Structure 1
Amino acid sequence: MHLRSTLAGLALAIGLASTQASAETIRIAIGTQDTTINCATGGLLIRELGLLDKYLPHDGKYKDAKYEVQWKNFTSGAPLTNEMVAGKLDFGAMADFPGSFNGVAFRDAGKQSLFISVLSGSTTGSGNGIVVPASSAVQSLAQLKGKTISVPFASTAHGMLLRAVAAQGWDPEKDVKIIAQAPEIAGSALRSNRIDAHADFVPFAELFPNRGFARKIYDGSQANAPTFHGALVAGDYAKKYPEIVTAYLRASLEADQLIAAEPEKYSELIEKVTGVEAEVNYLFHGPLGLQTRDLTWKPEYRKAVATAIDTLKLLKKTDKGLDVEQFVDDQYIRAAFKQAGLDYDKALANYAPAPLKANDAITGKPITDFKRLAQIWVRGEDKVRHYSSPEEALKALADLEKEGKDIRAIYAQAADSGIKLLASQAWFVRNAKGELNAFLLKDQAQRFASANGGTALDFASVNQQAVVAL
């Protein structure tokens, strides 16, 4: 009898333990960078649209699990990394440079983090950039020798700036003065002309010019150094809850699909949450955008991680390397693609920017050649208007302004690099046929004009010509 009661008690204890295990409350603590808008599909959109709940597992060992989802927003990657290393966060979204520092910080603490997915990037480096005050006479990086350039230290823009300075053949400690400055401080410094130039990451090299107090004089693509933003997870967490890591990436995939389908709508949502204007969000996230939303680990992005680690050594942030093949772990994003019925390897091989399927706003005919695409976003309109050429768009702009329409943004595609530009900040070359080609920089336009014939003009000049022509 005594044995029977003992066994019964043991069975009850085992049953209670099993129930308690399956009823475990699992924390999912996610660090976001909302104003770093290229992290949106790994944070802001998942949170605001409640996407994560759709994919969290509720079977097997998760049958009776309860989830406690926590969100915390940061303005940069370094403090986010600190909280991940301290065990206060499980996931984080950041760029290649701070992401690599995340891996180093975990290793130095006797732990491991994993870079599990790209979110958005440019295999040529677009997204990072250098700006000068709007009133500055500087038109190119070459004119900044001997000047003071600020940058958020240990950021992906810092890495870009060092590469850009090296490409000029300059000594970064002698030929320029590089100082640490966060974006919010740099904005004020640019407004008051207290800084010669500022290098920054997404979206500030476009946001500051869009707000009228700065001018972009260097795009990261000129350094031809890949850059991206991606998602990381604590290694111990991934080992314990691999299904949750995959669920998070399923939510990220859906966020990516939603913004691809309705870029204007979700650009508005990002503005509502962050204050970053929708027209700047569209510049990145819209079709043929400045960067490409891409969740696959292209060789260029793996190289960006390796380059970032080498740069950390140069900056004496670490004296050890980091095994990129172990740090970058694509098993979870591959699992997410498979669950979603998507072909990861096909996406991995696809280098095309987000496509545009649109009709010309004037002729109504499908646009098939996007080399001279121009676009206008009229305030109050849900969709961006598309034009097959800048000259068409400028004629339409003159009419819209006559009607008293408030123009939110005008976009053009750069004739040399193909990147999307804020047309109001661009330079143009008009050839003998009257066709306009857009460029980011004055010297790029002048070189093109010299080689191909034509005249280099700023936006105000080509816009005035369009008005006079009417």
Structure 2
Amino acid sequence: MKKLAFLALSLALASGADAETIRVAIGTQDTTINCATGGLLIRELKLLEKYLPKDGKYKGVTYDIQWKNFTSGAPLTNEMVADKLDIGSMADFPGTNNGAAFLKAGKSSIFLTVLSGSTLGSGNGIVVPKSSAVTSVAELKGRTISVPFASTAHGMLLRAIAAQGLDPQKDVNIITQAPEVAGPALQANKIEAHADFVPFAELFEHRGIARKIYDGAQANAPTYHGSLVAGEYAKKYPEIVVAFLRAALEADRLIAAEPEKYSELIEKVTGIEAAVNYLYHGPLGLQTRDNTWKPEYRKALATSIETLKLMGRESPLKAETFIDDQYIRAAFKASGLDYEAKLKNYDKLALKANDAVTGKPIVDFQRVAGIWLIGEPKVRHYATIEGALADLRKLEGEGKKARGVYVHDLVHRIKLLAENASFVVDGKGQLSAFLQKDAANAYAAAVKGKVLDFAGAQAAAKAR
């Protein structure tokens, strides 16, 4: 019996020794919250393990799943090129740098999928210190503006300045600065403006240290974050790449169904407040989660490649070969989803809710608002801004506090944090919200209304 037991153990050990171990090394950007469905949520919810292949050539395989977090795309790219990572997520412009770096090293990478973005350009933004009198990009002439160099926000900043007829090389002083440094600098008034990517313009606003004066939607330049893979890895393990993308699709489904719950999970992991995460990932969010290669995103990638040339960094990289949608199409099919239908759909995550005061279904979304109270698991929705702010005064009178108040810009249809928005009240007591003070002034003149700040809007709502 002892000999038989020893023989069985020996066979088991031998079998284990022969089993293949496959590395799946993934680089994430946790604090870049619109990468969440390609990283943080997959990792925290262990979604990849559900989809990794376990039969055919993968029968008996052991998976060595490795995760590494980064604050930007450049160091993530360095590790991918050095074969320390297989998959990574980043924005369009850093993604272009990724493709160029691979080619320079005699290799290739593939842009697999979009994760979240905006065909209009919302997400990137420019902020000024809370106490600053500056309200527009034109007023930044002669001032110092910081931005993370080579980021998607850097490109947005250059376009925004040029659109004002200013020379980015002569009329402003642009310096490089990471968001973790820019926050304290804004608070101490050491810089006059800062441009950044998701979610830092809104995060600095929410923390009360800055005020957003410009959103990328004003540039009408599409932007997105997505996932890439090393070309050789995709060629060798296409089924693993599809498994990763199926996990991303499930992460997208989960956060769409319960945005508050997963916004809180993102806060737990990153420290970025759930109210800001919800601004992006909730219904009618600031950006749209989208896994399809819409023409606007393909064009954005081509523009990024052209930008490389303008920066004197020539590369043979071409958008039409850098993007390979066969993997995301396979993931859609395996998950029972229709890629072509999603490709044609430009809608944001729909808001299906009743007004928190009247109980009636919300059907007009131009002036919808939301309040997320501390201690409540769900956001309260309102058909009108005046209805929301009147209810907020009542709730605050009961000792309750809001963790986030949301309104929508009447011009650009983007979601805003209400405390820093400009408002206009018309003769009927109807409130409209605006990101730009000059847009609010123009609208007020057109409707013979009055421009208000958040406190004034609350007072106007109470007076109705």
Normalised by the shorter chain, which TM-score bucket? Answer: over 0.9
Task: Provide the rounded CA distance (Å) in 1 between the counterparts of 2:331 and 2:460.
Answer: 52
- CA drift of 1:452 comes to 2.7
Of the three residues 328, 331, 336, the one matched with 1:341 is 336
Q: Equivalent residue for 2:113?
A: 117
1:206 deviates by 0.2
Match of 1:175 in 2: 171
Q: Secondary structure at the match of 2:360?
A: coil
Q: CA deviation digits over 1:235-279, x for unaligned, max 9?
A: 000000000000000000000000000000000000000000000
Partner amino acid for 1:106? F
Residue 364 of structure 2 aligns to which amino acid in structure 1? D
1:446 match: 441
Aligned to 1:299: 295
Per the alignment, residue 243 of structure 2 pairs with 247
8 Å Cα contact 2:264-2:274 kept in structure 1: yes
Provide the rounded CA distance (Å) in 2 between the counterparts of 1:22 and 1:114. 31
Match of 1:15 in 2: none
Q: Could you tell me whether the CA contact under 8 Å between 2:425 and 2:460 is conserved in 1?
A: no
The separation in 2 between residues aligned to 1:308 and 1:264, in whole angstroms, is 33
1:375 aligned to 2:373? no
Distance 1:330 1:20 in 2: 36
Give the Cα separation in 1 of the matches to 2:18 and 2:230: 22
Per the alignment, in what secondary structure is the counterpart of residue 356 of structure 1? coil
Partner of 1:92: 88
Q: Which aligned segments of 4 or more residues in structure 1 are displaced greater than 3 angstroms?
A: 18-22
Is 1:323 the counterpart of 2:318? The answer is yes
Find the aligned partners of 1:297 and 1:362 in 2 and give their Cα distance. Answer: 40
Per the alignment, residue 214 of structure 2 pairs with 218
Deviations for 1:180-239, whole angstroms, at most 9, x for unmatched residues? 000011001100001010000000010000000100000000000000000000000000
Which residue does 1:8 correspond to in 2?
none
Number of equivalenced pairs = 452
Amino acid at match of 1:456: V
**Partner Cα separation in structure 1 for residue 111 and residue 248 of structure 2:** 14
Task: Please say if residues 138 and 161 of structure 2, whose CA atoms lie closer than 8 Å, have aligned partners that are also in contact.
Answer: no
Picking from 453, 459, 464, the partner of 1:464 is 459
Tell me, what secondary structure is at the counterpart of 1:71? Answer: strand
**Deviation at 1:453?**
2.4
Correspondence list, 1:180-199, <5 A: 180-199=176-195
TM value normalised by structure 1: 0.94
Q: Distance in 2 between matches of 1:170 and 1:228?
A: 26
Alignment-derived partner of residue 308 in structure 2: 312
Q: CA deviation at 1:168?
A: 1.3
CA distance in 2, matches of 1:47, 1:457: 44
SS at match of 2:166: coil
Q: Mark the runs of 5 or more structure 2 residues left unpaired by the alignment.
A: 1-13
- The AA in structure 2 aligned to 1:274 is T
> Match of 2:346, SS?
coil
User: What is the CA–CA distance in structure 2 between the aligned matches of 1:22 and 1:121, rounded to whole Å?
Assistant: 44
* Distance of 2:425 and 2:365 partners within structure 1: 18
- How many Å apart are 1:315 and its aligned residue? 2.1
One-letter amino acid matched to 1:27: R
Identical-pair percentage: 71
Match of 1:428, SS state, is: strand
Match among 66, 71, 82 for residue 62 of structure 2? 66
1:108-137: CA deviation from partner (whole Å, max 9, x where unpaired):
000000000000000000000000000000
Distance between the aligned counterparts of 1:386 and 1:321, measured in 2? 49
**In structure 1, how many angstroms separate the alpha carbons of the residues matched to 2:25 and 2:314?**
30
Name the counterpart of 1:397. Answer: 392
Partner of 2:33: 37
> Residue 313 of structure 1 aligns to which amino acid in structure 2?
K
**1:7-22, aligned counterparts within 5 Å?**
none
Cα distance in 1 for residues equivalent to 2:97 and 2:315: 11
Alignment equivalent of 2:151, drawn from 128, 151, 155:
155
| Cα offset, 1:20, TM superposition | 8.5
CA contact (8 A) 2:367 2:407 kept: yes
Q: Which residue of 1 aligns with 2:422?
A: 427
Look up the match of 2:205. 209
Alignment partners' CA distance in 2, 1:275 and 1:297: 31
2:210 and 2:306 map into 1 onto residues whose CA distance is 31
Task: Say which of 402, 427, 432 aligns to 1:437.
Answer: 432
**Cα contact 1:22–1:62 (8 A) shared by 2:** no
Distance in 1 between residues matched to 2:284 and 2:88, nearest whole Å: 27
Match of 1:10 in 2: none
Q: What is the distance in 2 between the residues matched to 1:424 and 1:320?
A: 44
Find the aligned partners of 1:21 and 1:333 in 2 and give their Cα distance.
34
Report the aligned-residue RMSD.
1.4
CA contact 2:30–2:71 (8 Å) conserved in 1: yes
Helix, strand or coil at the partner of 1:72: strand
